Structure 1
Amino acid sequence: MTDSSVGALLRRALVAPAHAFWRRLRSITTSSPARFAVLIFVTLILGFTALFSLPAAAADGKATPLVDALFTAVSTICVTGLSTVDMGSHWSPLGHVLVYIGVNVGALGVLTLASILGLVISKRLGLRAKLIAAGDSNPLRVHGGPVNEGQTVRLGEVGSLLATVALSTLVIEAALAILIYPSLLFGGIDPITALWEAPYYAAMSFTNTGFAPNAEGLAPFAHDYVMLTVLMAGVFLGSIGFPVIFTLWRHQWHVRQWSLHAKLTIITTVTLFFAGAAAFLILEYGNPKTFGTMDAWDTTFQAFFLSAMTRSGGFSIIDVGELNGSSLIVGSMLMFVGGGSASTAGGIKVTTLAVLALAVWSEAKGRPSVEAFGRRIPSDVQRVALSVVAWGATIVALSTITITHLTHQPVEAVLFDVISGFATVGLSTGVAADLPDAAAYVLALTMFMGRVGTVTLAAAVAATTRSQLYALPVERPIVG
């Protein structure tokens, strides 16, 4: 046998498995978008866990324990903001760079990221790849069956949506960093360090993560209203969702041309922002450990800041653990709702709340259908909204029971941190920092399920979709 023949055999032996793996990967990307999205996030989390475990990633040069590395990886990729270590002092510059990269990757969204990788694998954005991308803007896309093309983002617009995701992330974070940089200088940060911390804070606000690059957090900027306002603006832009940004970019202030999704998202977000601020202002005005020692202006501003951060921002000026129990309940409710669909925020999403509120209102008025802004909301959307709330409440309840049993901490504090993890907020009463290993794994799983999304997760674990060609007799049970 000649040398050329041996070389040809070796090439075939090496290339054939690679081609088989590549074909298998392409098959996965097009056959089950939801499962592929979950697979991507699991792969990213495992990869970042390995990176965070490296001695070079820690400030002391020692390998980070597995539980802390995994928890940080989940919190980073899921843009949550909770941590079992001091994020400002534990990580080395390499560790902070990994956090910065991780939150931006996670901010792309489960299915948006899946669609981009699917596009790379498939060489083109075909119909199935578009279904993957459109699923991030509408959970109904990951299910079988007919889908109304008048929903959030039409299939023909997905290519533009992906471009909007990439460009808006780059442009918004760059603009936020430019606005934050002077505040860092006035706060005593040297110019070189500020060049790194400005984009770090920008990324943490737009991705709704809430990590700080220093051990003091936002404490040195507690009275820098310019910087705090910029952070709130970044959290708001990140929480309304890429489809809304896409709509605002296309139609700007022509409100009548906005999609129903954009209208419901903006109205519900603004309403909850002001309602939450009013509640915190009333409940914490006399608390000397939080707002009680501030003047009227500081109290009002901090109430709005706390309301914005409970939507998924994660930054905090006051000690959340010192809030009154009534304020913790309000914060838990705001966190559970979260931000907009296909956004960097978590929770059940504001459109879910809006659809359920409209359904309740229509039922109270005796209307046969749910309507808003001259549009009818179909029953399948209402069923998805109910499913999201039911699954979310179940996950939060089971996680709270388990962690309370493992830690013996007060249930109200555990509930707050669990909802903060599920809704990828990052605020904590202090429970998350002292979790035993078993409880840390439970909370990490809660964060993962909250970020991936209950509808996507349910679609990913469903083996097949079956169509039923018959209808059973109707019988109405007594409800209520």
Structure 2
Amino acid sequence: MAEAFRDQFVTARGVVDRLARRSPARLAVFSFAGVVMVFTLLLLTPWATASGRSAPVVDALFTATSAVCVTGLTVVPTGVFWSTFGQVVILVAIKVGGLGVMTLASILGLAVSRHLGLTQRMLAATEVKTTRLGEVGSLIRVVVITSTSLELLVALALFPRFLVLRQTVGEAAWHALFFGISAFNNAGFVPTAEGLEGSVGDWALCVPLIVGTFIGSLGFPVILNIMRNRKRPDRLSLHAKLTLVTGALLVLVGAIAFLGLEWTNPKTFGPLNVANKVLAAVFQGIMPRSTGFSTVDIGDLHETSWLVTDALMFVGGGSASTAGGIKVTTLAVMLLAIVAEARGDRDIEVFRRRIPPETIRLAIAVTFVGATAVLTASLLLLQITGWNLDVVIYEVISAFATVGLSTGVTPDLPEAGKYVLVVLMFVGRTGTMTLGAALALRSRRRVIRMPEERPIIG
């Protein structure tokens, strides 16, 4: 029996090894899907729910996908429906998903094959944006250690506040840890029954969540680059500079927009004093990066605020981060291309660096695929639910960008609609990432090039 088990393991190891060499992107997607299935099965157990009865399959699958894809959309209240065991399963799923689909695939390759092939190293290097292929294994360990350390720092900052709210030491520690991991991984899951809507002016609670979300949305390449060059910020990579500058501008623009649009809204910012209005605006401006926490009822926001949120969610956060969307560097590259074209510049230059044409083509491909996914899912949900377009667009972009913000209609989705969002969350988390890596690896040189001719544009 032992020999048969060993033979099966060797066979499985050989299959994974061949898949890692020939199609690392496919291995990453299969690995991620396998992780989703594991957590779905765990949530289907009777002791995962507070009632002691097994959850419906679609609700368990939806919650597991939302957790692993660090989205935060829920069809059942996390703090009420799931037991302590169920919430622990969700928290572990968030942690695993936050490490990133490519990092997860690399860990699988190291565990099963005990080595990484050249192709897989290149794909993992694309994910963490490092060019030294020999460092990928050690870099994965740094990613795990760094993310865990930052999550614990956010939890430590939140712990005293939960004690002040008259929670026991155990409850305060649990909620602080849950919020810390959820914030850094941009997951948006809330373990308390009342949520965050009563904390709109709570600076001690909101500020750590804002900081944790922003750092998590930067991406591991940027965090590591800042750590390595903290004494010489002028040596930051172009990717780090674009992510920091574009991300900060988006937060500023979003906060100003929410402040102006919701200033007099009696259901949201209207009753607040000026300081708390600013806090609420910054909170709402940064959470669409991909976290999905909200201190006000999203359904009470003006529709113009929904539109601003849609745009911020679609862009998302930094590459190789826990955030979703098409990523801020994609937006930055496309804006720089527009500026260069308007000025008549032959090259796209920023921070004394030139961006190659291949990067522009990749940015266009990622944006187009993202927009197509949103359009397709919107058409399906409109047909399934009959809801208004503004509501459907909001839910769809939130799912695609793995944000988790909702107007409150997600629990009311028909079963078919829930499956649509499950697929969209999975595509949103793995699609743009694997697409970018796969297209980058498919770059090829041709000996013979066709004659050049320009079609009319515009």
- Give the TM bin, normalised by the shorter chain: over 0.9
Query: Of the candidates 283, 286, 290, which is equivalent to residue 264 of structure 2?
Result: 286
Contact kept, 8 Å, 2:102 with 2:123, in 1: the verdict is yes
User: Is the aligned partner of 1:188 residue 2:166?
Assistant: yes
Aligned to 2:44: 53
> Quick one: which amino acid aligns to residue 472 of structure 1?
M
The CA deviation string for residues 378-410 of structure 1, in whole angstroms up to 9 with x for no partner, is 111110000011000110011111112211111
Q: Which moved more, 1:450-459 or 1:291-300?
A: 450-459
In structure 2, the partner of 1:325 is 303
Q: Is residue 131 from structure 1 mapped to residue 122 from structure 2 by the alignment? A: yes
Which residue of the other structure, out of 57, 61, 69, is the alignment partner of 1:78? 69
Q: What is aligned with 1:168? A: 146
The aligned residue for residue 91 of structure 2 is 100
Q: How does 1:84-233 map to 2 (within 5 A)?
A: 84-125=75-116, 127-138=118-129, 153-233=131-211
Q: Of 311, 322, 339, which residue of structure 2 is paired with 1:344?
A: 322
Distance (Å, rounded) in 2 between the aligned partners of 1:157 and 1:61? 46
Q: Per the alignment, in what secondary structure is the counterpart of residue 326 of structure 2?
A: coil
> Are residues 1:416 and 2:420 paired?
no
Larger mean Cα displacement after TM superposition, 123-132 or 359-368: 123-132
* Distance in 2 separating the partners of 1:460 and 1:377: 20
TM superposition shift of 1:465: 8.4
Counterpart secondary structure, 1:371: strand
Amino acid at match of 1:113: L
- SS of 1:292's partner is coil
Question: Does the CA-based 8 Å contact 1:209-1:314 persist in structure 2?
Answer: yes
SS at match of 2:290: helix
CA contact (8 A) 1:112 1:132 kept: no
Query: Is it true that 1:403 corresponds to 2:381 in the alignment?
Result: yes
Amino acid across the alignment from 2:248? V
Shift in alpha-carbon separation, 1:23–1:131, aligned structure 2, 3 A:
same
TM-score normalized with structure 1 length:
0.91
Whole-angstrom CA distance in 1 between matches of 2:332 and 2:189 = 30
Answer yes or no: is 1:30 the counterpart of 2:21. yes
| Alignment partner, residue 354 of structure 1 | 332
Deviates more, 1:445-454 or 1:115-124: 115-124
Give runs of aligned pairs for residues 369-384 of structure 1, distance below 5 A.
369-384=347-362
> What residue is the counterpart of 1:42 in the other structure?
33
Match for residue 314 of structure 1? 292
Residue 163 of structure 1: how far off its partner (Å): 2.6
Q: Deviations over 1:354-401 (max 9, x none)?
A: 101111111111111111111111111110000011000110011111
Q: Is the Cα contact below 8 Å between 1:35 and 1:460 reproduced in 2?
A: no
SS of 2:323's partner is coil
- Select 1:303's aligned residue among 281, 290, 293: 281
Q: Deviations over 1:62-109 (max 9, x none)?
A: 111111111001100000000111111000111000001000000000
User: Over aligned residue pairs, what C-alpha RMSD do you find?
Assistant: 2.0
SS at match of 1:135: helix
- CA separation of 1:458/1:117 partners in 2, compared to 1, >3 Å: closer, same or farther? same
Contact 1:284 1:323 in 2 (8 A): yes
Normalising by structure 2, report the TM-score.
Answer: 0.96
Identical-pair percentage: 45
Change (3 A) 1:53 1:11: closer
* Partner Cα separation in structure 2 for residue 26 and residue 445 of structure 1: 27
Q: How much has 1:457 moved relative to structure 2?
A: 4.5
Q: Which residue, 203, 217, 222 being the options, matches 1:239?
A: 217
Unpaired segments of 5 or more residues in structure 2?
none
CA distance in structure 2 between the aligned counterparts of 1:299 and 1:326, rounded to whole angstroms: 18
Find the counterpart in structure 2 of residue 142 from structure 1: none
Residue 159 of structure 1 and its aligned partner are, at CA, apart by 3.7
Deviation at 1:126, TM superposition (A): 5.2
Per the alignment, residue 423 of structure 2 pairs with 445
The number of aligned residues is 458
C-alpha distance after superposition, 1:187-221 (max 9, x if no partner): 12111211211110100100001111111012453
How much has 1:170 moved relative to structure 2? 1.3
